[in-house]
Amino acid sequence: GFGEGEKAKVERMFGLMDGFLKNDPVSLQKDILDHVEYTVGRSRFSFDDFEAYQALSHSVRDRLIERWHDTQQYFKRKDPKRLYYLSLEFLMGRSLSNSVINLGIKDQCADALNQLGFEFEVLAEQEGDAALGNGGLARLAACQMDSLATMDFPAWGYGLRYQYGLFRQVILDGFQHEQPDYWLNFGNPWEIEHLRISYAVKFYGTVEEKQLDGHHCKVWVPGETVEAVAYDNPIPGYGTRNTTNLRLWAAKPNGHYDLESFDTGDYINAVINRQRAETISSILYPDDRSYQGKELRLKQQYFFVSASVQDIIRRFKDSHRNFDQFPEKVALQLNDTHPSLAIPEVMRILVDEELVNWHNAWDIVRKIFSFTVHTVVPGGLEKIPVDLLSSLLPRHLQIIYDINFSFVEELKKRFGLDYDRLSRMSIVEEGAVKSIRMANLSLVCCHAIDGVSRIHSDILKTRVFKDFFELWPQKFQYKTNGVSQRRWIVVSNPGLCALISKWLGTDAWIRDIDLIMGLRDHVEDAELQQQWKMVRRVNKIRLAEYIEAMIGVKISPDAMFDVQIKRIHEYKRQLLNILGIIHRYDCIKNMNKSDRRNVVPRVCIIGGKAAPGYEIAKKIIKLCHAVGETINNDPDIGGLLKLVFIPDYNVSVAELVIPGSDLSQHISTAGHEASGTGNMKLLMNGCLLLATVDGSTIEIIEEIGKENMFLFGAKAHEVATLRAKGQARKVPLQFSRVVRKIRDGYFGSEVYFKSLCDSLEGSGDFYLLGNDFASYLEAQAEADKAFVDQERWTKMSILCTAGSGRFSSDRTVGEYAEKTWRIEPCRCPF
């Protein structure tokens, strides 16, 4: 805190504070009409839903900007330690509802619009998704930004402003096709363009040795320079005036003209060539599996990292004379290894440009960086071919070599000349293609390495990073992921939100999630149960309407809605789900009339994108459609079973599906899902989980009890042995029968599906579908049984929500703040 005198000063400084934009409906209405007329350029007497959305968004944006300025002024004044969150991907989704809710002006906006003849919910639907990311890692970054702002932490996010977000998935004849997502086509009111905040980012060229101010220096003479321009995306906290920033960089041609190339020839071509600079920030890589040594990807990484580091150092220098205090004022978080070039970039700027000596710079670097790992697969770790790095970033390669030299010396002192160990741990991989291991670089340079769930961290310590754990056990930690209850309950499930607040007697759980366990006290209350069911039913009807509108399949809200929504991956085992559905279909077909009366009607919903080059994932999508086609059109089945694929799954589709789900599947082969975050979103919304004992599900079990979930499958510690058994594993008859059905062409396309079937039989089945099939079916049968008893089901559903508190990103971010970043809240006092 600060003294009274200080407070008075601050108040004087912010004297105009609440004098600016008013938030009553009348003022809002005037602002909206002004924006219709002057920003959108339409007549205030005639504008449509989209134009109304634009005008409303601009009115909200104005309020965001105001708070953004106040917060940044305040941070600047208080000069707290700041966190910078570097991520190559952010999946922000839509912003309108989130913003008005966090600003606390949703009702006022709705009122203002009503009087103009518009409905808030309809306008909110006009907004497209900001999909600057692939999956869990990117949405995690978005949830954490929301928590950082809400908890008043002085933190900024840094990333890339891709012109094309994650591709749109279009389904034609059951096949996935990718279409570009040019999300900026209709403008983006949620960003503020700062053309004057820009940095030159260098590429290629050579390193020269020079004498500078009596220092012996390395000078990097670049072969190409590109300009990074800042686009700021305000992130409003909930229940606070604090509004922080997500700064995304766009690439523009550099303004310093190279006279020579313009003089000597073709002017037109010279301009066109310069324009190519923009490709750096043009497209998001849609591959969420493994890293390929692509030059453009490396350029993207360095481009955003360099601009961010320059910006951070510039801001620090604004209020400090030297770098002594740097580690007390700056923490840099790397979201996976993608931004790890920030490490040599900080070294380069400190040593080459700020003339800090190597040892001091190294000391700083080791104190400020931390990183989070999001994968379990060693093959998912990034490697950069040395040839590529030496051509693109020659100085950084030198720095990495220097860091590695000292590191290897340290290893020799500690372990002696254990060459196997040295070659495993070295940052440089000697092999057919000599390359830089970005994970090893990060492990050496960061003071903390976090896994995303407990089991994940154990796997990192005992397998993936075993050697490093032996060397530096204290660096290894974990912070189980979390998701924002603002986005995943308040924004996406207003009905449930109101109900929770009503029964808790307060809406304080929106900032203080632990309160949500208070619902447990009311779980036996028939009135709550009734209202809970009603809210969920309304959500199911909304989802059913969406599905009918999108794909023309009619579904009944009386059925159990069973969903699996996530990227399509072999390890996530959407295929297991589909095989289970085929089995169910078979069973129903073989039943007589009276048995059919006992079948619990099910609607199976699958959604997710396959990476464009991931053949097997694409076949799984096609299989899902082929099976759905057969089942949904079989008059013999009627309403007992449906299988629908929701196209183009993204954040806003998730906001619709999750509140309307009864059961959700998280069925990765144990030991493969680092954490999973969809499970948390569904849990919060009172959806029951059918799951393997993997990732964060293990911790969910601890919170809500296995009696409130449907668990199955091999445990992580059994997987290696099971795999080693190979063909000796026993596979249930039902499994072979179902696979045979696909092979025999029951669902068509038998040639196309052959490789899928082969991956499940013989020496294949790496992900153990056959092994887990019997227990999967048992868990499904348990779920059916529970659903029949609606009272029991509803109680379990309430207990899921009540037990979800630990999985709020507020808890995760609080742990990072205290243990890793060592930052304190800095709350704008107005």
Q: List active site positions.
A: 374, 566-567, 572, 677, 681
Residues ≥6 apart with Cβ < 8 Å to 361: 346, 347, 350, 351
Rule CB under 6 A: is residue 628 a binding residue for ligand F58?
no
Buried b / exposed e along 4-34 (16+ C-beta atoms within 10 A): eeeeeebeeebeeeeeeeebebeebbebbbe
Backbone dihedral angles phi then psi of residue 175, each to the nearest 5 degrees: -100, 145
SS3 category, 133: coil
Tell me the angle at which helices 733-743 and 750-758 cross, rounded to the nearest 10 degrees: 150
Helices (runs of H) and strands (runs of E) counted in the chain:
34, 24
Q: Which is nearer to ligand F58, 40 or 140 (CB)?
A: 140
The residue range among 119-127, 182-190, 322-330, 671-679 that interacts with ligand F58, by the rule CB under 6 A, is 671-679
The residue range among 3-11, 132-140, 218-226, 813-821 that interacts with ligand F58, by the rule CB under 6 A, is 132-140
Residues 435-454 that bind ligand F58 (CB under 6 A): 452
Residue 787: is it exposed, middle or buried by C-beta count within 10 angstroms (0-12/13-18/19+)? buried
Shortest CA distance to 62 belongs to which of 35, 101, 80?
35
Rule CB under 6 A: is residue 670 a binding residue for ligand F58?
no
Rule CB under 6 A: is residue 700 a binding residue for ligand F58?
no
Question: How long is the chain?
Answer: 830
Smallest gap from Cβ 653 to ligand F58, in A, equals: 17
Q: How far apart are CA 752 and CA 42, in angstroms?
A: 52
Residues 707-766 that bind ligand F58 (CB under 6 A): none
With CB under 6 A as the contact rule, the residue among 288, 570, 694, 699 that binds ligand F58 is: 288
Smallest gap from Cβ 141 to ligand F58, in A, equals: 9
Q: How far apart are CA 191 and CA 235, in angstroms?
A: 10
The residue range among 437-445, 496-504, 670-678, 722-730 that interacts with ligand F58, by the rule CB under 6 A, is 670-678
Q: Which is nearer to ligand F58, 389 or 674 (CB)?
A: 674
Rule CB under 6 A: is residue 480 a binding residue for ligand F58?
no
Rule CB under 6 A: is residue 651 a binding residue for ligand F58?
no
Smallest gap from Cβ 615 to ligand F58, in A, equals: 18
Buried b / exposed e along 284-299 (16+ C-beta atoms within 10 A): bbbebbebeeeeebbb
Rule CB under 6 A: is residue 134 a binding residue for ligand F58?
yes
With CB under 6 A as the contact rule, the residue among 126, 300, 308, 481 that binds ligand F58 is: 481
Backbone dihedral angles phi then psi of residue 403, each to the nearest 5 degrees: -60, -45
With CB under 6 A as the contact rule, the residue among 25, 136, 234, 803 that binds ligand F58 is: 136
Rule CB under 6 A: is residue 671 a binding residue for ligand F58?
no
Place of tokens 């961290």: 457
The residue range among 133-141, 323-331, 441-449, 726-734 that interacts with ligand F58, by the rule CB under 6 A, is 133-141
CB 403 within 8 A of CB 445: yes
Q: Which is nearer to ligand F58, 96 or 657 (CB)?
A: 657
Rule CB under 6 A: is residue 86 a binding residue for ligand F58?
no
Backbone dihedral angles phi then psi of residue 473, each to the nearest 5 degrees: -55, -35
Smallest gap from Cβ 696 to ligand F58, in A, equals: 7
- The full 3-state SS of 373-403, as one line of letters, equals CCCCCHHHCCEEEHHHHHHHCHHHHHHHHHH
The residue range among 546-554, 573-581, 674-682, 719-727 that interacts with ligand F58, by the rule CB under 6 A, is 674-682
With CB under 6 A as the contact rule, the residue among 299, 374, 625, 642 that binds ligand F58 is: 374
Q: Which is nearer to ligand F58, 106 or 572 (CB)?
A: 572
Q: Which is nearer to ligand F58, 158 or 503 (CB)?
A: 158
Q: How far apart are CA 481 and CA 533, in angstroms?
A: 29
Residues 499-538 that bind ligand F58 (CB under 6 A): none
Q: How far apart are CA 697 and CA 480, in angstroms?
A: 10
Rule CB under 6 A: is residue 685 a binding residue for ligand F58?
no
Q: How far apart are CA 681 and CA 800, in angstroms?
A: 11
Smallest gap from Cβ 285 to ligand F58, in A, equals: 7
Smallest gap from Cβ 658 to ligand F58, in A, equals: 16
With CB under 6 A as the contact rule, the residue among 674, 682, 719, 757 that binds ligand F58 is: 674
With CB under 6 A as the contact rule, the residue among 671, 695, 770, 803 that binds ligand F58 is: 695
With CB under 6 A as the contact rule, the residue among 25, 93, 135, 580 that binds ligand F58 is: 135
With CB under 6 A as the contact rule, the residue among 29, 72, 242, 677 that binds ligand F58 is: 677
Q: How far apart are CA 406 and CA 414, in angstroms?
A: 12
Q: Which is nearer to ligand F58, 159 or 394 (CB)?
A: 159
Rule CB under 6 A: is residue 140 a binding residue for ligand F58?
yes
Total site size for ligand F58, rule CB under 6 A: 15
Q: Which is nearer to ligand F58, 615 or 789 (CB)?
A: 615
- Which tokens is 527 given? 């009135």
Q: How far apart are CA 623 and CA 617, in angstroms?
A: 10
The number of CA neighbours under 13 Å toward the Cβ of 140 is: 29
The residue range among 91-99, 276-284, 315-323, 667-675 that interacts with ligand F58, by the rule CB under 6 A, is 667-675
Smallest gap from Cβ 299 to ligand F58, in A, equals: 15
Determine the residue with CB nearest ligand F58: 136
* H helix intervals, 185-258: none
Q: How far apart are CA 269 and CA 267, in angstroms?
A: 6
The residue range among 129-137, 142-150, 417-425, 599-607 that interacts with ligand F58, by the rule CB under 6 A, is 129-137
Place of tokens 């949830």: 143
CB 823 within 8 A of CB 154: yes
Q: How far apart are CA 244 and CA 247, in angstroms?
A: 10
CB 691 within 8 A of CB 667: yes
With CB under 6 A as the contact rule, the residue among 174, 339, 676, 803 that binds ligand F58 is: 676
Smallest gap from Cβ 384 to ligand F58, in A, equals: 14
- Which tokens is 570 given? 């072999």
Place of tokens 């309950």: 489
Shortest CA distance to 468 belongs to which of 403, 431, 422, 434?
422
Rule CB under 6 A: is residue 137 a binding residue for ligand F58?
yes
Contact residues toward ligand F58 (CB under 6 A) are 134-137, 140, 288, 374, 452, 481, 673-677, 695
